[in-house]
């Protein structure tokens, strides 16, 4: 019985020994890729360094330094959104306040470069809560706050300008409407005047026609009287 227990203990010891050796080999492998990535990063080979850091992560999922450095490599490639994800992951992986502060500081930079001003301010404030002595975070926080203020002022000015443009458009539409109404009114007045003029001309023509007709009648009457007079004279004579 004692031999069986001793045999089992020996098996467990061998298992843990192999596991420890495996972890050590894995840790050595991830450190190798981290060192390689650092050398590439210093030579500004940021894409190559990112690949090395990701290899380190594949070897050791808990390699927080590799995660952080991968974020730096992505940031240098202007892949700010992807970089931000790495810094968030690094923040969640660490318990050390200084490292959590550093990850939030770099997260703030990623937000700032993506023009996410409010988010960057939150990240910088979080970084300073963990490390109040971070002067770069203080400077960037003040810079982001100024940017936000300018952005809000521009938005307010744009809003006021849009309101002015909208009011101007409404005024122009009303002016055009009034102008059209005035033009229509003038056209109506001109038509009325033309109708009145035509009616006056027609009246004059009618009066002239009546006058001519009356003149003709008078002439006919005169001729008739003269004819009767001649007849009677001839008859008497």
pLDDT-derived band of residue 21, with 50, 70 and 90 as boundaries?
very low
Q: What is the pLDDT of residues 179-229, one digit of tens each?
A: 888 888 888 888 777 665 556 666 667 567 666 666 665 666 566 555 554
Task: Confirm if 63 and 56 have CB atoms less than 8 A apart.
Answer: yes
Mean pLDDT of the chain: 81
Predicted local distance difference test score (pLDDT) of residue 164: 84
In Å, what is the CA distance from 169 to each residue of 158, 159, 164, 172, 182?
Answer: 16, 15, 8, 5, 20
Higher per-residue confidence, 23 vs 129: 129
Predicted local distance difference test score (pLDDT) of residue 207: 66
Query: 107-137 burial string, b = 16+ CB within 10 Å, else e?
Result: bbbbbbeeebbebbbbbbebbbebbeebeeb
Q: What is the pLDDT of residues 23-65, one digit of tens each?
A: 444 457 789 999 999 999 999 999 999 999 999 999 999 999 9
Q: What is the dihedral of CA 39, 104, 142, 118, to 10 degrees?
A: 120
All domains of the chain in start order, with CATH = 10-155 (1.25.40.10)
């Amino acid at each position: 019985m004692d031999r069986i227990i001793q045999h089992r203990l020996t098996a467990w010891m061998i298992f843990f020994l192999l596991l420890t050796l495996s972890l050590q080999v894995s840790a050595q492998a991830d450190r190798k890729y981290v060192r390689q990535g650092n050398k590439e990063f210093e030579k500004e080979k940021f894409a190559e360094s990112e690949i090395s850091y990701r290899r380190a992560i594949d070897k050791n999922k808990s390699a927080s330094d590799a995660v952080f450095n991968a974020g730096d490599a992505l940031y240098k490639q202007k892949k700010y959104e992807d970089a931000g994800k790495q810094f968030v992951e690094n923040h969640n992986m660490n318990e050390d306040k200084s490292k959590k502060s550093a990850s939030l500081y770099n997260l703030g930079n990623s937000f700032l470069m993506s023009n996410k001003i409010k988010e960057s301010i939150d990240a910088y404030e979080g970084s300073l809560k963990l490390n109040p002595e971070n002067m770069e975070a203080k400077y960037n926080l003040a810079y982001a706050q100024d940017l936000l203020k300018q952005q809000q002022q521009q938005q307010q000015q744009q809003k006021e300008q849009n309101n002015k443009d909208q009011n101007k458009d409404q005024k122009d539409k009303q002016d055009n409407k009034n102008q059209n109404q005035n033009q229509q009114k003038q056209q109506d007045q001109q038509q009325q005047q033309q109708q009145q003029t035509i009616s006056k001309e027609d009246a004059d023509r009618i009066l002239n026609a009546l006058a001519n007709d009356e003149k003709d009648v008078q002439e006919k009457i005169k001729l008739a009287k003269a004819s009767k007079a001649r007849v009677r004279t001839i008859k008497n004579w």
